[in-house]
Amino acid sequence: MKAVRVPGELVLPPYLHRSLQMEGFSVVESCTYTQRSRGSMFLDEHLLLHVLKGQNTVSLGKQEYPVKSGQMLLISKASLIGYDKQGDAEAGDAYESLLFFFTDSFIRGFLQMSQTRVEPVTEAAAMEVKTANERMRTFFASVMPYFAHPERVDKVLLQLKMQELLFNLVDTDKNLLHQLLELRKPIHKNIVEVMEENYAKPVNIEQLAYLSGRSLSTFKREFAELYDTTPAEWIRNKRLEKAKQLLENSNYPVADICYTVGFENPSHFSRIFKRHFGHQPTEYRN
């Protein structure tokens, strides 16, 4: 399944989520009725996720963050995250959340305007699920009426509301402030870590370059220096090796293994597996 680029694609078909948008930030309301819905999102901007109903288990790399009703999670841009939404059974399987997206420039402008004092720290801020306090809950409730008629919302008022959100975050928790300050830093991640974390996910080479904080040409050049092959060939071989391990050490159906390692078509998976190992997956397992 293709990863959804957000926030841009969330307001387009087939999603058509209600949104409030302005240069530098946007707010998206996600409301659905589902027992369970899974997928992945590619973050073009920083994200604050707040769950109103149900639960959303966010996965980033090898870590999982269960965000329950009344909780929130701040995530850096250039991240490929998985989501696992579960509706509230007592509310007719309703899942509802608010997604606040911010650009670097909006955060820098806020920190300059608010004259937020930056204290020196020696360790990176931990990404943590936080329970929204009364002040945050009141703010989230105040945003909801704007979605009824977003075209009528004054842009200056909307900007003030988003600044209010950042003021609330800064005053709520020192770790959130630390995390917010770190969002401004240039992204430059280890290529090996980026590849190991994302080879089985629905992401293309351009997105892998973005995740690493490099241009496409720089990413390809440094990748070739590390692996002496192309990213596409490395990903294919890595997926096939992982599939072989699962065939040897598990009883998962072949189709499940196909999807687990990142292939989207079981027939295509069987063909390239045979071309690589000399046997189709079922024959190899037997």
Residue with the two structure tokens 């240039």:
186
Mean pLDDT computed over 161-175 = 87
How much is the pLDDT for 204?
87
Query: What are 24-69's pLDDT values in tens digits?
Result: 899 999 999 999 999 999 998 999 999 999 999 999 988 999 999 9
Query: What are 245-273's pLDDT values in tens digits?
Result: 999 999 889 999 998 898 989 999 999 99
Torsion angle of the four alpha carbons 178, 180, 186, 187, in this order, in degrees rounded to the nearest 10: 90
- Amino acid present at 98: L
Take residue 175 and report the two structure tokens written for it. 């770790």
How much is the pLDDT for 125?
74
Domain made up of 4-182: CATH architecture: Sandwich (2.60)
How far from 176 is each of 59, 67, 223, CA to CA, in Å? 19, 16, 34
How much is the pLDDT for 118?
62
Query: What are 73-116's pLDDT values in tens digits?
Result: 999 888 889 999 999 999 999 999 999 999 988 988 888 888 87
* Peptide bond between residue 186 and the one before it cis (omega within 30 degrees of 0): no
3-state secondary structure of 115: coil
Query: What are 171-197's pLDDT values in tens digits?
Result: 877 777 778 777 766 668 899 998 998
More confident residue, 130 or 203: 130
Q: Is the pLDDT of residue 231 over 90?
A: yes
Contact 74, 179 (CB under 8 A): yes
How do the domains of the chain map onto residue ranges? 4-182, 191-285
Q: Is the pLDDT of residue 280 over 90?
A: yes
Q: Which strands make up the sheet holding 80-86, listed edge to edge?
A: 4-6, 37-43, 80-86, 55-60, 63-68
Query: What are 117-137's pLDDT values in tens digits?
Result: 766 555 667 889 999 999 999
How much is the pLDDT for 177?
75
Model pTM?
0.79
- What is the topology classification, in CATH, of domain 191-285? Arc Repressor Mutant, subunit A (1.10.10)
